[in-house]
């Protein structure tokens, strides 16, 4: 066999082996994904980020655009925002002027709230975006303002202000809204973070046992009033809560029940005593007049007068 024949045979063998191999996948056709974009954004943690904002004086839409781009906030503005501003013509919020002083080391949600309030709005947190909505809508969506068909407050007095203004005047324990998420975090730290995020007065009583203080909590709150969030945590950890003025005190269930009993007794003591009547006062009521008898007497008198009048007429004729 010549060298040329041997080389040809070897080439044929190599080609056959290559054709027998399965085709390799084309890596270039696989789409490239951004690992950060694939992760689900935790909006609660993003809003809790500490930032420093320089002084701002401009339009609302420009402020929203700046926050969305700089901090990657998925902001959406409801078209109804800004149409109920007092003393201003009805118009979209985009072109309304807003101002901020220089704010060092503040939470990002504080910045969003301060801007939204200037166009008579507030923000709600949804799974994949943050929406600026009118204040009235925010109050009902978050259950800070609940339906009251009688138009009464939680007390016995009729409100002197519109419902929205009354809710704005409530303490932060009822007006503040919680947007946080926790995973296996101790109860004490969860309560501290809620207090820090909202500014509401939330305290943990020393009577709560250490094992309860360190009990791991996994929960997510979105657009939840502070008092509702604290009561939910108490149910999860078998605690109780005492509400005193603008303070929420997390304590043992026994102490919370005792305090509720004390408050009920104080309320009862403040009630005016009932009016007491002597026994048997209504057993012998005064007799009612005999109406039929009186009518009969009047008829008899009328008949007597008629007879006397007839006699008088006869005398006059004579």
| Averaged pLDDT score across all residues of the chain | 79
- Name 224's bridge partners: 178
Q: Is residue 211 part of a domain?
A: yes
Q: Does 107 share its domain with 47?
A: yes
Torsion of CA 38, 43, 44, 49, to 10 degrees: 100
- Name 303's bridge partners: none
Q: Does 198 share its domain with 244?
A: yes
R_g over Cα of the chain: 40
- Identify the pLDDT of residue 3: 52
**In terms of residue numbers, what domain contains 136?**
40-141
Q: Is residue 111 part of a domain?
A: yes
Weakest-pLDDT range from 67-71, 176-180, 223-227, 293-297: 293-297
Q: Is residue 301 part of a domain?
A: no
Alpha-carbon gap, residue 24 to 310, rounded angstroms: 139
Q: Is residue 224 part of a domain?
A: yes
- Identify the pLDDT of residue 84: 60
Q: Is residue 54 part of a domain?
A: yes
Alpha-carbon gap, residue 144 to 122, rounded angstroms: 12
Q: Does 224 share its domain with 132?
A: no
What 3-state DSSP class applies to 214? coil
Q: Does 56 share its domain with 127?
A: yes
Cβ neighbours, 10 Å, residue 137: 17
Alpha-carbon gap, residue 240 to 249, rounded angstroms: 8
Q: Does 114 share its domain with 62?
A: yes
> Environment class of residue 55 by beta-carbon count within 10 Å: exposed (0-12), middle (13-18) or buried (19+)?
exposed
Percent of the chain topping pLDDT 70: 72
Q: Is residue 46 part of a domain?
A: yes
Q: Which pTM was predicted?
A: 0.63
- Identify the pLDDT of residue 18: 44
Q: Which of 97, 124, 141 represents a domain boundary (last residue)?
A: 141
- Identify the pLDDT of residue 32: 45
Q: Does 55 share its domain with 136?
A: yes
Alpha-carbon gap, residue 113 to 122, rounded angstroms: 6
Provide the number of structural domains found in the chain. 2
Given a cut of 60, is residue 12 above it in pLDDT?
A: no
90: domain CATH number?
A: 3.55.50.30
Q: Does 50 share its domain with 106?
A: yes
Express each pLDDT in 124-156 by its tens digit: 999 899 999 998 888 888 877 765 444 444 444
Q: Which two tokens stand for residue 75?
A: 């902001």
């Amino acid at each position: 066999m010549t060298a040329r024949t041997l080389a040809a045979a070897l080439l044929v063998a190599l080609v056959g082996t290559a054709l027998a191999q399965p085709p390799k996948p084309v890596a270039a056709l696989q789409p490239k994904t951004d690992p950060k974009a694939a992760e689900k954004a935790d909006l609660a943690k993003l809003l809790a980020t500490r930032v420093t904002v320089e002084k701002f004086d401009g339009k609302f839409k420009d402020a929203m655009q700046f926050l969305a781009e700089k901090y990657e906030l998925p902001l959406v503005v409801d078209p109804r925002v800004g149409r109920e501003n007092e003393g201003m013509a009805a118009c979209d919020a985009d072109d309304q002027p807003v101002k901020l002083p220089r704010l060092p080391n503040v939470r990002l949600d504080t910045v969003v709230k301060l801007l939204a309030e200037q166009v008579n709005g507030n923000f709600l947190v949804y799974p994949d975006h943050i929406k600026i909505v009118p204040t009235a809508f925010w109050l009902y969506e978050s259950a800070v303002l609940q339906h009251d068909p009688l138009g009464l407050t939680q007390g016995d007095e009729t409100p002197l202000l519109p419902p929205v203004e009354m809710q704005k005047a409530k303490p932060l324990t009822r007006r503040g809204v919680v947007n946080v998420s926790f995973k296996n975090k101790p109860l004490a730290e969860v309560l501290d973070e809620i207090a820090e995020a909202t500014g509401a007065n939330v305290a943990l009583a020393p009577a709560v046992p250490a094992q309860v203080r360190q009990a791991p909590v996994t929960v997510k709150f979105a657009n939840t009033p502070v008092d509702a969030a604290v009561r939910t945590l108490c149910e999860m950890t078998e605690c109780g809560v005492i509400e005193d003025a603008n303070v929420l005190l997390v304590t043992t269930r026994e102490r919370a029940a005792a305090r509720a009993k004390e408050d009920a007794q104080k309320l009862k003591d403040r009630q005016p005593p009932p009016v007491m009547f002597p026994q048997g006062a209504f057993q012998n009521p005064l007799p009612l007049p005999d109406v039929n008898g009186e009518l009969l007497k009047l008829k008899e008198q009328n008949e007597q007068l008629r007879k006397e009048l007839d006699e008088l007429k006869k005398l006059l004729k004579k």
